[in-house]
Each structure stands twice: as C-alpha cells, then as structure tokens.
Chains A and B, each alone.
Chain A
Amino acid sequence: MLAKLYIQFLKFGAFTFGGGWSIVAQMKEIYVNRDKVITDEELLDITSIGRSLPGTMIGNIAMFFGHRMAGFWGGIACMIGMITVPMIILIMITSFYTAFQNNLWVASAMRGVRTAVAPVILSALMGMVKSAFKFPPCYVIAVAMFGLYFFLRMSPVWLVVIGAVLGLIMCEWYERRNQDVTA
C-alpha cells in the first residue's frame, strides 16, 4: 500500500508545473473518477485545508490524502513521492546552472529570463489581490507591510505573524459590529 501510494505520487509530482492545482486535477481524475476512493467533496475539503495551513500546498494535500488511505506513514509516503522527481530534476539543473553560470550563452539567456521575473510575480500578485481584501482595513495592512518589508527590512516571519493577529482582531470586530446592527 505504501509503495503504491509512493509510486502514484511520484507520477503526480513529475507533472506539476507552476503551482499545485494540476496535482489536484490529477488526483480527481484517478482517485475520484477512476478508483472512487474519495468523493469530490472530500478532495475539496483536503485541498482547502491543505491550502490554508502553512507550508507547501501540495505537500499538505499529499499528507492529508496519504493519512486517509494508510495513516501517518501513508502521508509520509505520499509526501516523499511528491517531491522525489522535482528534487532530482532541480539537483541536476542546479549543478548545470552552477557549472555554466558564467558561460556567455547561458548568462545571456538567464539575463533575459530575469527581466521576466518581476512581471511574472506581478501578474501572479494581481491574482492574489482579488481575494486578499475582504475588509477595507486590509488595504492598510498591505501598504503597512510593504513599508515594513521594503524600508525597515523587517523579517517576513514577523510580518506574517502580525498579519495573522490583525486578521483575527479584524474579523472579530466586524462580527461584533454586525451583531450590533442586527440587534
């Protein structure tokens, strides 16, 4: 069972480009539609919790699914399976990159690629913006965190913690206010 889970997630891991959603789609195909071991709803639950807990989304999803199938070690088998292929590929690329970093053609290609990185992150940021501003104070948080990160160089660890605390305070405040209005 563990070996089977490992092999299956090895395959999933080999085909995730840019984000974890392709894995969710593959899991749906195999585990929901073909094997019928979990339902659509359960997969959705796993995905949404995996996404909202810290860490790598697909690692978390693999853990939840594996745990469901075969307990803790099932989770570990899926998690390790998921990362095996990407890790081997990246070890090879890193070796190549380190060896050829100063080669004119590789350096030129990487320089071209670097010009695309800020636009790529920016375009992904646009996608995040849609779901990020639930209440008006969220805008203030975003601007404040930008300042603390960029100008004061505060560690992102603290900024995430501050964001989490503010999130709790904000939601409670809005909830109470809404209760007052209805009462």
Chain B
Amino acid sequence: MLLLELFWSFVKIGFTSFGGLSMIPLISSEMISHGWMTAEEVSDIVAIAEMTPGPLGLNCATFAGMRAAGILGAIVANMGTLSPTYTLCAVAAVFFEHFRDNKRLGEIMTGVRPACVGMVAGVVVDLVLVNYAEAGAVHFPSVILGTVDLILLLKFHVSIPVVLMLSAIAGVIMFGVMGL
C-alpha cells in the first residue's frame, strides 16, 4: 500500500506542476505530511536536484521513493510524476494541431502562474524559518552565508550549481572546522 500511496502523491504532484519550481510547494507538503522527509531534507533535495542532471520533480520523486520504499519506490514515484506525460500529453500529441493554438491553456496559465508565485514565496518563508534557525533561535552564521549566496546569485549572476558548491565548501569550513 505504501507504493500505491507514493504513486498517488506523485500523481498529484505531476498534475499540478507547471515546470520546475512550481512543484516545490506540493512536494514539500506531501513529503512532510507523509513523514517521508523532514523540512531539512526537502531543502537538501532541492539543492541535490539543482546539482544533478534531471528535472527537480523527478529527482525529488527518486529521493522520496528511495527513502520510503527503496528502488521500487523510486520507480513508482517517477511513474507518478510522469503520469500527465503518458496520459494527457499522449492524447495532446494525437490532437497536436488542436492544442497548438489553444487559447484556454494560455488563459489557465494566466491564473496558475501568479498562484505559483504566491505558493513558492510561501515555501521560501518556510525554508528560511528552518534553515537559518538553530534550537528555536536565529543562527547568524547561516544568515550571513545565505545573504552572501543571495548577493552572488542576484548581483553577480553566479550560476546555481556553483553557488551550491561554494556553500557546501563554506559549510565544511564554518560548521565543520570552525564549529560555528
């Protein structure tokens, strides 16, 4: 039944996600509510997914599936995430000409996009509350490192994998060697 539950969770994730980040809110709520990942692990998987090939949703599926039920779990979760592809898209491919100029799709996206922006902003706040705190208090070394990361990304346009690698190195030095 665990496999079925995993599959269904990722079917929901698949059908309500429209590219990349829009998956994060649902992944986070599904994973945490089922106890398949902690909030920290959700952060970790977002980072891992950004550093490895493959889209975020599928990488999360593999990670959560592995954690919950081994390799079979990973396969089942991937198939769940891909369910819109082999159902909806397969149909759309047959009627491709009709879909190409479909006005409704564009109209739906006009509402879905701002909704995703709102939810993703919610996830950012969630992650900030978890990742920059320690034992219920603000952890300043983490805040400083996060601020540097933000500046590197926005001001100097450093690529995401590079920022993540630098943060890993900084983490080893600050938290491992210096014990901050």
Contacts and interface: CB of A to CB of B under 8 A. Distances in A.
A150 B17 contact: no
B97 to A, nearest CB: 10
Interface size on B, as a range, is 35 or more
Contacts, number: 363
A83 B58 contact: yes
Given A113-B168, A124-B21, A146 B26 contact: no
Nearest to A128: B117
A167 B175 contact: no
A125 B121 contact: yes
Residue among A56, A64, A76, A79 facing the most chain B CB atoms (10 A cut-off): A56
B170 interface: yes
B16 A54 contact: yes
B62 to A, nearest CB: 4
A181 interface: no
Chain A facing B: main interface SS: helix
Interface of B: 12, 14-22, 24-26, 29, 40, 43-44, 46-55, 57-59, 62-63, 66-67, 71, 74-75, 78, 81-86, 88-90, 92-94, 96, 99-100, 104-128, 131-132, 142-143, 145-146, 149-150, 153-154, 159-161, 163-164, 166-172, 174-176
